[in-house]
Amino acid sequence: MKADYLIIGSGIAGLTIAIKLAEQFPDRKIIIVTKSSKEESNTQYAQGGIAVVMDEINDNFEKHIADTLICGDGLCDKEVVEIVVTEGPERLQELIDWGVQFDRTETGRLDLVKEGGHSDYRVVHHKDETGKEIERAVLAKAQQNDNIEFLDYHFAVDLLVADNRCNGAVVLDEKSGQQFLIYADFTVLATGGIGQLYQHTTNSVIATGDGIAMAIRANAEVDDMEFVQFHPTALYAKSEHTFLISEAVRGFGAHLKTKNGHRFMFGYDLRGELASRDIVSRSIETELKKSGEACVYLDCTHLEINAFQKHFPAITQYCWKQGIDVVKDWIPVFPTQHYLCGGITVNSFGQTSVENLFACGECSRTGLHGANRLASNSLLEAVVYAHRIFLFLKNKEIVSANVVFTLEDKLNKPQVSEEFIRDRDSMLRNLIQQNVGIVRNNEDLEKKKQQLLIWQEEFQSITQNYKLSKELGELRNKITVAFSMVVSSLKRTENRGCFYCDR
């Protein structure tokens, strides 16, 4: 197949770029490859909202910039922070123009809420299901364009790179098991996060770090892979998927308590429950180690219940189904993996170190987050960078490279057993959960690095000798990303933001 633009991923980042290119160039072809249903993504689960300065009386850009820099613990790129914060309002207006419905006050103004690390009310939201609403509207908008072709249930395997120039990707049709090549003049990785490397994560099943692994194999630069953000308040419950209790619930006034009712956060930070995520997660971890308990609690019982249920209908309902009545019960919560601050290194127009290859959204490392992301800055980063990639590509001629890649037919090769993939995956997730968590240790990391090296070699031979499936490809990618996270952790010598090592 051949496209002018190949976009891998159909979350907020991929869809936003696709819409802009499709509208600007009605005669050019855009292919979106996405490995699950079109909607399945981290975007779809975003709860809290998008942080944008919209209250010009109390809030201003300087305050949002300062909050982002403080949260990033000295490692943000200030210029990038300024770009993202100041371009936010225009990008938000675009989402509204595309049909995203954000909650409004009785006077028609956007309803702004607060989250951890924010000094003001600036999080724009759609109840507690902001991501679902964004994905709905943006996907509908993308589907109106005839020059965008969706290939859902298609797994991008590897990039087609020659002489440090990207020319498209190898793609697996998950239904037929057939691999094929898509040639493209420009390729964008918008493949999201890495949560599925952990046993406990708020992330979607798609978050297996594929884009980052492909970029690593293509020799693109990646950075800040040690900065994994843990969300302090995932619901502690027996269920397959770990459900998030939004930070906005604490912004609304909920208290974090131990089983005995001690409101412990003020013992760690003057901002109490609204300290930044790294601090709250580490404080909970310390409390849990002290008590030997498995969870702490969010107490919402003192809050105005009608307003709470109106703002958080999905959370209220989910808790109810788990037998928790937020009106009278405390919600059991524990910290879980949530977000990767690092990723594929890009410049301020989303360009990676490989020519004609771009990265956008959670898989990219722009410099915005530094050592720790400020709540609700991720959706914002995705739309701002999608626009900047579009601006760059708008002025670029389409010049197809004269290169031909060949694809080895692996259809007749044997299949790796499902049991092997399940077992290895479970060992990997256990290794990462235990060793690349909220508090790390160099000695353990060094040992695990050796184990990951062995698995990497093993997978090199497996992928050559066996038929590729999505599950096998994902596992190979997870091992590649895990190795990169461990190596980066070992390189960091001081504790910053969400990286903490007791050495």
Show the site string, 244-283: x = touches ligand FAD by CB under 6 A, - = not.
x---------------------------------------
Quick one: how far is CA 114 from the chain centroid?
Answer: 21
| Choices 7-15, 271-279, 312-320, 457-465 (CB under 6 A): range interacting with ligand FAD | 7-15
Of 91, 250, 277, 424, which is the active-site residue?
277
Distance CA 70, CA 81 (A): 11
CB of 27 to ligand FAD, least distance (A): 25
Residue of the chain from 9, 14, 48, 211 that contacts ligand SIN (CB under 6 A): 48
Asked if 40 is part of the footprint of ligand FAD (rule: CB under 6 A), the reply reads yes
Instruction: Answer whether 477's CB lies under 8 Å from 208's CB.
Output: yes
Distance CA 170, CA 184 (A): 11
Asked if 247 is part of the footprint of ligand SIN (rule: CB under 6 A), the reply reads yes
Q: Which is nearer to ligand SIN, 246 or 463 (CB)?
A: 246
Residue of the chain from 242, 276, 352, 378 that contacts ligand SIN (CB under 6 A): 378
Distance CA 363, CA 357 (A): 13
Q: Which is nearer to ligand FAD, 424 or 470 (CB)?
A: 470
CB of 233 to ligand SIN, least distance (A): 7
Element containing residue 336 per DSSP (H, E): strand 331-340
CA atoms within 13 A on the CB side of 413: 17
One-letter amino acid at 106 equals: E
CB of 211 to ligand FAD, least distance (A): 6
Burial of 86 (0-12, 13-18, 19+ CB in 10 A): middle
DSSP-based three-state secondary structure for 360: coil
Give the CA-trace dihedral at 120, 121, 124, 127, to 10 degrees. 140
- Which one of ligand FAD, ligand SIN, none interacts with residue 185, CB within 5 to 8 A by kind? none
CB of 249 to ligand FAD, least distance (A): 12
Asked if 117 is part of the footprint of ligand SIN (rule: CB under 6 A), the reply reads no
Angle, alpha carbons 307-39-134 (nearest 5°): 40
Asked if 384 is part of the footprint of ligand SIN (rule: CB under 6 A), the reply reads no
Number of residues that bind ligand SIN (CB under 6 A): 8
Can you say whether the dihedral through the CA atoms of 6, 10, 12, 15 is positive or negative? positive
- Which one of ligand SIN, ligand FAD, none interacts with residue 10, CB within 5 to 8 A by kind? ligand FAD
Identify residues 151-210 at the interface with ligand FAD (CB under 6 A): 155-156, 190-193, 202-203, 206, 210
Identify residues 227-246 at the interface with ligand SIN (CB under 6 A): 246
Angle, alpha carbons 340-344-350 (nearest 5°): 115
Beta bridge partners of 365: 345
| Choices 32-40, 77-85, 414-422, 492-500 (CB under 6 A): range interacting with ligand FAD | 32-40
Instruction: Answer whether 125's CB lies under 8 Å from 168's CB.
Output: no
Instruction: Answer whether 168's CB lies under 8 Å from 6's CB.
Output: yes
| Choices 144-152, 324-332, 371-379, 394-402 (CB under 6 A): range interacting with ligand SIN | 371-379
**Could you tell me the end-to-end alpha-carbon distance of the chain, in angstroms, rounded to an integer?**
50
Q: Which is nearer to ligand FAD, 9 or 350 (CB)?
A: 9
CB of 131 to ligand FAD, least distance (A): 5
CB of 47 to ligand SIN, least distance (A): 4
205 CB contacts (<8 Å, ≥6 apart)? 36, 40, 196
Asked if 8 is part of the footprint of ligand FAD (rule: CB under 6 A), the reply reads yes
- Which one of ligand FAD, ligand SIN, none interacts with residue 191, CB within 5 to 8 A by kind? ligand FAD
Instruction: Output DSSP code: residue 330.
Output: P
Q: Confirm whether 277 is a catalytic residue.
A: yes
Asked if 362 is part of the footprint of ligand SIN (rule: CB under 6 A), the reply reads no
Q: Which residues of 183-214 are buried (b: 16+ CB within 10 A; e: fewer)?
A: bbbbbbbbbbbbbbbbbbbbbbebbbbbbbbb
280 CB contacts (<8 Å, ≥6 apart)? 116, 232, 256, 265, 269, 273, 335
Distance CA 121, CA 113 (A): 5
CB of 270 to ligand FAD, least distance (A): 24
Asked if 376 is part of the footprint of ligand SIN (rule: CB under 6 A), the reply reads yes
Asked if 281 is part of the footprint of ligand SIN (rule: CB under 6 A), the reply reads no
Q: CA-CA distances (angstroms) from residue 175 to 229, 347, 488?
A: 34, 36, 36
Task: Report the length, in residues, of the chain.
Answer: 503
What residue number has its CB nearest to ligand SIN?
48
Asked if 438 is part of the footprint of ligand FAD (rule: CB under 6 A), the reply reads no
Instruction: Answer whether 134's CB lies under 8 Å from 101's CB.
Output: no
Show the site string, 345-384: x = touches ligand FAD by CB under 6 A, - = not.
----------------xx-------------xxxx--x--
Q: Which is nearer to ligand SIN, 187 or 337 (CB)?
A: 337
Binding residues (CB under 6 A) for ligand FAD: these are: 8-14, 33-36, 40-43, 45-50, 130-131, 155-156, 190-193, 202-203, 206, 210-211, 244, 339, 361-362, 376-379, 382
Binding residues (CB under 6 A) for ligand SIN: these are: 47-48, 246-248, 375-376, 378
- Give catalytic residue positions: 277
